[in-house]
Amino acid sequence: MLRRVLVPLLALCTALLTAPVVAQADARPPAPSQDPFYTPPSPLTGNAGDLIRQRQVDWYPEPFRVFQAPVQTWLVLYRSTSATGTANAVSGMVLVPPIPWTGPGPRPVLAYAMGTQGLADECAPSYHLRTGTEVEIAFLAQAMLKGYAVALTDYEGLGTPGTHTYAVANSEGHALLDVARAASKVGGAGLSPNAPVGVFGYSQGGQAAAAAGELQPTYAPELHVVGIAEGGVPADLSEVAAFNDGNLGFSLVAGAAVGYATAYPELPFMDVLNAKGRDVVQKVENSCVVELALADPFGHLNDLTTVPDMIKDPRWQARLAENRLGTHRPTAPVLLYHGTADELIPFQVGEELRDRLCGLGASVQWQSVPLAGHIVAISVYGTAALNWLGDRFAGKAPTPNC
């Protein structure tokens, strides 16, 4: 597993990116809460996918900030749409490698959705990339070694003011599609609005990728999406929450409750938390992924609330149903993969998503990853997922196996 991370990272830092040594005294960028770039103008104007502002920045692929990658990198703020259909502003990044694109057509754009980063503003991928602390660097490196541009989203409320709408599929899908739209509008990036777009994500990122695929035909029909690679997808949060209640991943359930209550203010939440619940929520809202996982492992939702079975409230059930994946047919082909021993998102949830998509008539290539837990599955199969998108960029026909 370590080799899978180190090989592309070393290749990025040496074979491709013969980077100059930067002085250790080089100051780290300010956290998003201290950087006015992340604060959107008011009122918001324009349309979803419009670029609000851009800033060319440095990207460091390692935490010591010694090697500055000569990838052209822009911090972006762009218009998007919340889960309830209101205009919002989301931050992200656009990265263009120095490798010229020699394939057919314009340089492809990889719309990249990160897995769980946390809920605090300093967890934003656009900040982690500039401080050399982003954990998914290996797959970004692989994509750029292939000559793809990368457009990645911070998601709603991660970096920008407000609470991150963690695990809300519709919000995530909008944000991912809109960063792909915004990428072609970045001055100096040289990206075409007609570029083929491949969508990639795992875990929370898999949820975002899946949502983007289902939303794209009506929300962003002009995007030339050629494939969606989605893995470890929490496709049905009711099932995921029930599975993790009392298990290792309960802190993520608490984070999702915060995300939903933020996206949908009518949901009973803060007013039904007890003292322990308020304490856990405070930890969750101020945590990145490691601290988030440790906020309340093996906890129970009923231990945090003054009323039992909060998410069985009809208002909660309605919003969870709105974000259940596998309800709209994506027009682009889908690669769906899931570890058979996933300890956070049950393998059954992946199988059920496959069955729903196949029932809708989608082009689905399903891949189980034998004996793989949640992290192992992406470590083992992530490169294959990127290669699958490479075949779509090359115009090769998919091989669905519904």
Rounded alpha-carbon distances, angstroms, from residue 4 to 23, 29, 147:
29, 29, 19
| pLDDT confidence tier of residue 60, bands split at 50, 70 and 90 | confident
Asked if 2-236+326-393 and 238-321 have one fold, the answer is no
What is the structure's pLDDT at 10? 47
- Domain 238-321 CATH class label: mainly alpha
Query: What is the enclosing helix (H) or strand (E) of 79?
Result: strand 69-81
Mean pLDDT of the chain: 93
Q: ∠118-122-124 over CA atoms, to 5°?
A: 65
Query: Once rounded to an integer, what is the mean pLDDT over residues 136-153?
Result: 95
Taking each continuous run of H as one helix and of E as one strand, the counts in the chain are 12, 9
What is the structure's pLDDT at 155? 98
Query: Once rounded to an integer, what is the mean pLDDT over residues 249-265?
Result: 97
Taking the C-alpha atoms of residue 128 and residue 131, their distance in angstroms, rounded to an integer, is 5
271 pLDDT more than 90:
yes
167: left (phi over 0), alpha (psi -120 to 50) or beta: left
pTM for the model stands at: 0.93
Q: pLDDT tens, 175-231? A: 999 999 999 999 999 999 999 999 999 999 999 999 999 999 999 999 999 999 999
Q: pLDDT tens, 98-120? A: 999 998 899 999 999 999 999 99
5 pLDDT more than 70:
no
- Domain 2-236+326-393 CATH class label: alpha beta
Residue spans per domain, the chain: 2-236+326-393, 238-321
Is the CB of residue 154 less than 8 Å from the CB of residue 179? no
Taking the C-alpha atoms of residue 182 and residue 79, their distance in angstroms, rounded to an integer, is 8
Query: Which is it for strands 109-113 and 196-202: parallel, antiparallel or unpaired?
Result: parallel
Name which of 204, 217, 211 is nearest 253 in CA terms.
204
Query: Once rounded to an integer, what is the mean pLDDT over residues 249-262?
Result: 97
144 pLDDT more than 90:
yes
